[in-house]
Amino acid sequence: MSTISDVAKLAGVSAMTVSRVINNSGYSSREARARVEAAIAELAYVPNALGRQLRSKQTKMLALVLSDIMNPFFTTIARGVEDVAGAHGFSVMFCNTDESETEEAQYLLMLVQRQVDGVLLVPASSSGKSLRMLSSHQMPVVVLDRRIQSRHVDSVRCDSEAGAYKLTEHLIGLGHRRIAVLTGRRSVSTSVDRVAGYRRALLDAGLNPDDALVRYGEYNQVDGHRMAQEILAVDPRPTAIFAANNFIAFGVMRALRETGLRVPEDMSIVAFDDVPAAWVGEPFLTVVDQPAYEIGRRAAELMLSRLEGRTSGAGRDVVLPSELIVRRSSGVPRAEVPVSAAPVDHAPTPDRRARGVPVVPAVTTGAAR
C-alpha cells in the first residue's frame, strides 16, 4: 500500500500537491499534474479514506437502522436510500434491530463511534431515548416510517391513520359490520395509528368499536397466525380481518387455510403494505400500498440537504399518501349474499386501483358518509 508521500517522492513534488491533484482543489500546473498522475498510475496508488476522514471530519457514510431488512417494505426503503446516497457519493450501512431497543441502542453507539455523517432511523419504540442519545452527540437524524414527538427532528412517513381509515371504510362499504384488526406492538406509532384510523372509520359509519376485535402483537407471520386463531374464536365471529402489515396478513391467511375458511367468501382480508409486483404471480390481497421507495428516497434527500447545508431550521415532517388497491381478498360478507350466488372468480383480475373515488359502490348504511 503506497501512501501519498510515496507518490509525492516519485513525482518529485510535495504531498500537498498530490493532494490537490487528487481532489481537484486549488491550483496546480499542467506539468505537475501530469507528473503526479503518472506516479499515481505507476504505483497503483489509491488514497486512504481513513486519513481523509480523520482530517476532514466527514465519513461520507450514512446509516439506515431498521427492524428487519428481510421485510420487503424495508428492503424497498433501503434501496431508495442507497440510490440517493450513492448518487451523492455517500455509502450506507444497514443495521437490523429486530424491533429490539437494546439492539438499537448498541447499533447507535457503534454508529456514533464510527462517526457516520447521519442516521436514518426506524425507531424500535416511540420513547425518544434513542433520539436524545443521538442529539447529545450532535448526530443528524431523519426518522422513517414512524411518528415521534420531537419537533426538532425530520421525519418521513406514510399516513397510517388515513390508510387504515380507507381500508376499514372499504370493508364497511362492502357491508361488513364486525371487523377485526390485528396490529403490531403498542409502543410503535404505526400500530396505534392504524387502530386509530380503523376506529374513526367505524365511528364515522355509526358503528360501535368492539375492543374484543382488536389485537396487538408483533409485525410478523407467527404472531399474525396466533392473533388470527384467537380472533376466529370470538363469538360472534367477525366477517373481515384488517391486518396491520404484510407479515400479519400472511399469518392470517395461513390460519384461515388451516381452519378451512375461504377468502373472501367466508372471511375478507385487507392489509397494510403491498408485496412488490415483481415477486408475485397474481396479487390477491386488497391492500393499502405505502410508497416505500419514496420514503427512503425522500428521507435520504432530506438528510443530504441538511448535511450539505441546503436545508436548515426546524424539523420537517413529510407525510406521504398511501394508495388503496382493491383485489380479490375482500368481498361482500356471507350473510349479505345468497349461497347459490357466490362464485369464485379465478379469471385474471386486473387490479382495480382506487384513485380518489372508491371503486366499490358504497353500501348505504345507518349512518351518513
Partner DNA sequence: CTGTTAGCGCGTTCAG
Partner DNA sequence: CTGAACGCGCTAACAG
In the range 223-282, which residues lie near a copy of itself by CB under 8 A? 246-247, 250, 253-254, 257-258, 260, 275-282
Which of DNA, a copy of itself, none does 70 bind, CB closer than 5 to 8 A by kind?
A: a copy of itself
Is the Cβ of residue 190 or residue 246 nearer to a copy of itself in the bound state? 246
Is the Cβ of residue 220 or residue 290 nearer to a copy of itself in the bound state? 220
Query: Distance of CA 52 to CAs 16, 49, 55, Å?
Result: 13, 5, 5
Compute the least distance from the CB of residue 115 to DNA, in Å.
Answer: 9
Is the Cβ of residue 260 or residue 309 nearer to a copy of itself in the bound state? 260
Q: Does 59 sit near a copy of itself (CB under 8 A)?
A: yes
Strand 268-272 relative to strand 240-243, pairing: parallel
Which of DNA, a copy of itself, none does 72 bind, CB closer than 5 to 8 A by kind?
A: a copy of itself
Compute the least distance from the CB of residue 174 to a copy of itself, in Å.
Answer: 20
Do 323 and 294 touch, CB atoms closer than 8 A? no
Which of 38, 42, 48, 137 binds DNA (CB under 7 A)? It is: 48
Q: Interface mask (CB under 8 A) for a copy of itself, residues 98-117, using x and -?
A: -----------xx-xxxx--
Q: Does 22 sit near DNA (CB under 7 A)?
A: yes
Q: Does 14 sit near DNA (CB under 7 A)?
A: yes
Q: Does 17 sit near DNA (CB under 7 A)?
A: yes
Diameter over CA atoms, the chain = 92
Is the Cβ of residue 260 or residue 313 nearer to a copy of itself in the bound state? 260
Which of 38, 41, 70, 203 binds a copy of itself (CB under 8 A)? It is: 70
Which of 9, 10, 13, 305 binds DNA (CB under 7 A)? It is: 13
Grid cell for residue 259: 381452519
Q: 143 - beta bridge partners?
A: 121, 155
Is the Cβ of residue 24 or residue 340 nearer to DNA in the bound state? 24
Which of 38, 41, 42, 54 binds DNA (CB under 7 A)? It is: 54
Q: Which amino acid, one-letter code, is at 64?
A: L
Q: Does 52 sit near DNA (CB under 7 A)?
A: yes
Do 177 and 365 touch, CB atoms closer than 8 A? no
Q: Which amino acid, one-letter code, is at 300?
A: A
Which residues lie near DNA (CB under 7 A)?
1, 3-5, 12-17, 19-20, 22-23, 25-29, 31-33, 47-48, 50-52, 54-57
Contact footprint for a copy of itself (CB under 8 A): 1, 44, 46-51, 53-54, 59, 68-70, 72, 75-76, 78-79, 82, 91-96, 109-110, 112-115, 136-138, 220-221, 246-247, 250, 253-254, 257-258, 260, 275-282, 284-285, 348
